[in-house]
Homo-oligomer: A and B are copies of this chain.
Amino acid sequence: MAARAGIVVTGTEVLTGRVADRNGPWVVEQLRELGVDVAHIAVVGDRSADMTAALGFFASEGMDLIVTSGGLGPTADDLTAEVVGAFQGRPMVLDEVLQERIAEILRPMVARWKGLDMDALEAGTRKQAVIPEGATILDPVGTAPGLLVTPADEAAGPTVLVLPGPPRELQPMWAAAVQTEAFAAATAGRTSYDQQMLRLYGIPESEIAETLRRAEAGGIDLDTLEITTCMRGGEIEIVTRYEPPATATYEALVALVRERHADTLYSDDGSSVDVQVADLLRARGWHIATAESCTGGLIAARLTNLAGSSDYVTGGLVVYANEAKTALAGVPPELIEAHGAVSPEVAHALALGAVRALGADIGIGVTGIAGPGGGTEEKPVGTVCCAVATREGGVAASRRLVIPGARTDVRDRATVAGLHLIRSVLRDEQPPSEPLG
């Protein structure tokens, strides 16, 4: 039986959505890569009874390991260490070495602040150094230590790994945690898995369901594969996880997907369209520029999100007002007058204007109606026109979409559509067809 783990993400701010949880799924991925099976993430508010209930649920489910994130700060609503100590039957004790370690970390920060309340700081430091007796301490990355806490009665249940909430503290600390004896002991039963991802753009999810049915009918034993499909931003992801003996089965499935969906399967190694566009630009030695209206900078932000993007991004124009379209991207006012700001003609002019204004090799222009206002019968909310042009060839590809959903959905999906249009031009392909609403 494989080692199993559950994750408890604490924090009322996460429960109520003011902060999006980035830790739960990240820890799941790490555990899965280690061959530990994870079935649940529990998100709980900062109330000790609720945290205790979640720990009890995972213990009753027979988990070998529970990972918690958050609730290690200096404020009174940070309860995790105390709750885990009580759950494992261990009294709380002040660790003076740890207290001094935290004070040492704070010293340079303290120096930068004027008029800081030193009593407040010391109370916080002391609180963070009170830990369950016998816990394995993980050195702070920020100011909070991590903890590995085994049950006081050794036969009694899962080991709890306590990690801080900020991802930039949790992630480096994870590397230290997996090196500990307590972690190795808790996850002794782990097995190894492979995981692969296919990405498709431009077909509805029902087509994939049918492909899976045909695979099964054709003798591919899907029971040995754990397959998840999901649609987001108009893209479909098929993630498959399997034990090594099922490799040939997975390859047979990939061959079938490739045969049935040759024109929409754009990634068989899990690489995103962002990474593919970056690689294609690097391979040609090209620089890209943008001219965005409805996406308001989102495409430029995506293109500059990868480290090293200055190798292939020149820059961009956000041309929200019509005057800006004319002044920056050189779109003739008569063109806007004749066809409207949201039109294939203006998208073409924007793409050409991006290339020209930034001296780029390739440019994208996007204009649309993100809503909620501004729609007409002919051009409803969600209407988006995008075009890609190259310095040498002029307009190379163009699309008109009607994207359903709210303002954010329209902006996000228009961004994805834009990236795919860029990719298709860089690969000298026909642009993808319009995805199902």
Contacts and interface: CB of A to CB of B under 8 A. Distances in A.
A24 B40 CA distance: 14
B20 A117 contact: no
A139 to B, nearest CB: 17
Interface stretch (A83-91, A152-160, A320-328): A320-328
Contacts of A206: 74-75, 117, 120-121, 124
B319 A315 contact: yes
B54 A44 contact: no
A44 B230 CA distance: 15
B315 A318 contact: yes
17 contacts: A15-B28, A17-B28, A19-B230, A39-B47, A40-B50, A53-B61, A73-B205, A74-B205, A75-B206, A75-B208, A119-B210, A120-B213, A124-B206, A168-B404, A305-B411, A307-B371, A315-B321
Contacts of A112: 434, 436
Given A24-B43, A313-B321, 4 more contacts: A21-B21, A124-B209, A296-B313, A314-B320
Q: Give the top 7 A-B pairs by smallest Cβ distance, nearest first.
A: A17-B25, A297-B297, A296-B304, A120-B210, A297-B300, A315-B324, A316-B318
Given A50-B40, A168-B406, A209 B76 contact: yes
Nearest to A106: B206
Interface in A186-234: 204-210, 212-213, 226-230, 232
A417 interface: no
Copies, count: 2
A333 interface: no
Interface residues of A, number: 112
B24 A17 contact: yes
A366 interface: no
Contacts of A437: 109
A12 interface: yes
Given A12-B228, A77-B228, A301 B297 contact: yes
Contacts of A373: 307-308
Contacts of A318: 290, 297, 300, 304, 315-318
A271 interface: no
A51 to B, nearest CB: 9
Interface in A7-21: 11-21
Contacts of A119: 210
Contacts of A26: 17
B305 A436 contact: no
A116 B38 CA distance: 36
